Amino acid sequence: MKIKVCGMRQQDNIEELVKLNPNFIGFIFYEKSPRFAGEELNEEYVKTIPKSIKKVGVFVNANPGYILDMVKKYDLQYAQLHGNEMPDICRSLRQKGVNIIKAFSIDENFNFAMLNNYKSFCDLFLFDTKGDQPGGNGVPFDWKLLKKYDNEKPFFLSGGISLDNIETIIDLSKTHPVYGIDVNSMFETEPGIKDISKLEELFNLVRVQEQEEAEA
């Protein structure tokens, strides 16, 4: 199970995270977010992050030109589209060589059948909790709803993931195509600043589980 740490922006904090070797690191390019990377992000440093860590830009209903500019500026491997972007936007960005993670806000009314319109144009899905904000609401959705997901496309699970529920997610990954977890607000000391010791604990839990499964 891959680990994506999202909402990074401060260089010292990013450097500490890089030492833990996450699979993905996310930068938010949405001005209304309290985790907006903005001018704080040093593009020269971001480009030096090891290639083993995939860099993700998070966008909400952004202009495709702006997305492509940020992908180029920071050498991003993925664009995560966290708004109401239509399949055509995913397709055009993907045709320009950008890997696409399409995020969907889940509640009991979510229609999983509509994902069929997107799956050809996305590399991964991300399921987050429907809330007041496009993301970072800090609460899980009812994961039993994933029983309605009948697609083979792997997905990130997001929304309120913490040390308290990671074991449940590990169990869930045995019956659903959970590609990885996307963690953010539950591992922060303040918006955009991650608690590295808590993340270290999470990484150990997930990676010990992987090791045990590999040896079984």
From CA 75, how far away is CA 165, in angstroms rounded? 33
From CA 104, how far away is CA 119, in angstroms rounded? 12
Place of tokens 């996310």: 26
Place of tokens 């969907």: 104
| CB of 131 closer than 8 Å to CB of 154 | no
**pLDDT (0 to 100) of residue 131:** 73
HSE, CB side, 13 Å, CA atoms: give it for residue 89.
20
Per domain, the residue ranges of the chain are 2-215
What are 144's two structure tokens?
């039993």
- 13-36 residue pLDDT tens: 999 999 999 999 999 999 999 999
Question: Class for domain 2-215, per CATH?
Answer: alpha beta
Q: What is the pTM of this model?
A: 0.94
HSE, CB side, 13 Å, CA atoms: give it for residue 125.
24
- What b/e sequence results for 84-105 when a residue is b if at least 16 CB atoms lie within 10 Å of its CB, and e otherwise? ebebebbeebbeeebbbbbbbb
- 68-99 residue pLDDT tens: 999 999 999 999 999 999 999 999 999 999 99
